[in-house]
Structure 1
Amino acid sequence: MAKAQFHKNQRVYVRPVGTWAVIERIVPQWVKDMDEPLRIHYDVGLGRDFAAKELETEEVSALSHLDPEMEEWHVVRVPNKWRSADECAGHPVPGTHPVVVTGSHEGGGWRVPGVEYDMTPDRVELQAKVIAAAPKMMVLLQRVADYARTNGENLPDELMNVAGDADMLLTGIMGPQA
């Protein structure tokens, strides 16, 4: 069952479009013989209804956390401009190099200079995979740190040390509020 997370006339940031809008209508999807709607969508006047995970409030709009549901970072392969596939047959995927897409458009993200890729292609491939997995790893670190804070008396010392390391990493990335 779904509950509305936003209300009519609330200002929200529409992530897929990259703009601010005001919720004009709340659109519940009802199913026969159910007391509550199955899903809730929001009409913000941009031509289609949006799900709650595609919207965020002004308070959340500052990057204070990474939501793995919305941060779909992934690795794409782009052709080498500086070498043909025959010239780099020893590379993990000859004729291409990785680009990590960190935005909603295929153009945004992380790239590496061709010379650097040629020197250590396996290292760059690993970097691309690690960067693409970063949002999910941050959520995992946060879960470990939160669990240790609430259940510290029941955890072995070694696991408390791991949780402390996770907390320090998060603080180094996000600041003291993490």
Structure 2
Amino acid sequence: MAKAQFHKGQRVFVQPVGTWATVEHVLPKWTKGVEEPIRITYDCGLGREFIAEELDANRAQDEDLDALDGSVWRVTRARNRWQEQYDVSRHPYPGTYPVIVTGESEWGGWRVPAAEYDLDPHRIERQAQVMARAAGMLKLLKRVVEVARAAPEDLNDDMHEIAREAVELLRKPKAGAKS
């Protein structure tokens, strides 16, 4: 029978989604007449339940930052199926919304709900551009810190401050902290 491998409140890496999450609920599946659950799934607040094989608590977060490859992150356009171009002429790209693709395939990544896009399409377009460039910016920050650590005596006061801010941005967020 199944045994729980993770507990409520535990931080886990969700492999199918490619992000860290917290186990919100441990969900045993019971069968009448059996003393132990036949299967256990985990609700991580990501829209569906995950099995233990899809979660990893031992993965180092630094590996995730190193694995980001800014060259494959890009903004693509998806057709808005609920509104025609003439209905949303104030939008920067009428009839479409941005999709940030974070992998080689065209279907993976981040999308914004249509209702949120309608509230302020220009803001969402700017956010999409920032997200698409985030992996490259992360690499640049890491280089700034490496250069500062290699030759701190060669940096002026402004560069010391920039390096300190880069270290703060790269620091892992505390559990439960909102960013």
Identity of aligned residues (%): 42
Uncovered stretches (5+) of structure 1, i.e. residues with no partner: 1-58, 174-178
User: Which residue in 1 is equivalent to 2:81?
Assistant: 81
| Alignment of structure 1 residues 110-125 onto 2, 5 Å | 110-125=110-125
1:66 positional shift: 3.6
Contact 1:66/1:139 (<8 A) preserved: no
Which secondary structure state, in structure 2, belongs to the residue aligned with residue 86 of structure 1?
Answer: helix
Amino acid at match of 1:72: V
Aligned residues: 116
The two structures, once aligned, show a CA RMSD in angstroms of 2.5
| Alignment of structure 1 residues 19-168 onto 2, 5 Å | 62-68=63-69, 71-168=71-168
Compared CA separation, residues 64 and 92, structure 1 to 2 (3 A): closer
Contact 1:100/1:111 (<8 A) preserved: yes
1:73 positional shift: 0.4
1:67 positional shift: 4.9
Structure number with higher helix proportion? 2
Uncovered stretches (5+) of structure 2, i.e. residues with no partner: 1-59, 174-179
CA distance in 1, matches of 2:67, 2:143: 13
CA distance in 2, matches of 1:94, 1:107: 21
CA distance in 2, matches of 1:151, 1:107: 43
Contact 1:76/1:99 (<8 A) preserved: yes
1:71 positional shift: 4.6
**Which 4+ stretches in 1 moved above 2 angstroms?**
none
Amino acid at match of 1:109: G
CA distance in 2, matches of 1:127, 1:162: 23
1:64 positional shift: 4.4
In the superposition, the TM-score normalised over structure 2's length comes to 0.59
User: Which residue in 2 is equivalent to 1:43?
Assistant: none
Amino acid at match of 1:82: W
Amino acid at match of 1:149: R
Q: Deviations over 1:36-83 (max 9, x none)?
A: xxxxxxxxxxxxxxxxxxxxxxx9xx4241453x75100000111221
Amino acid at match of 1:73: W
In the superposition, the TM-score normalised over structure 1's length comes to 0.59
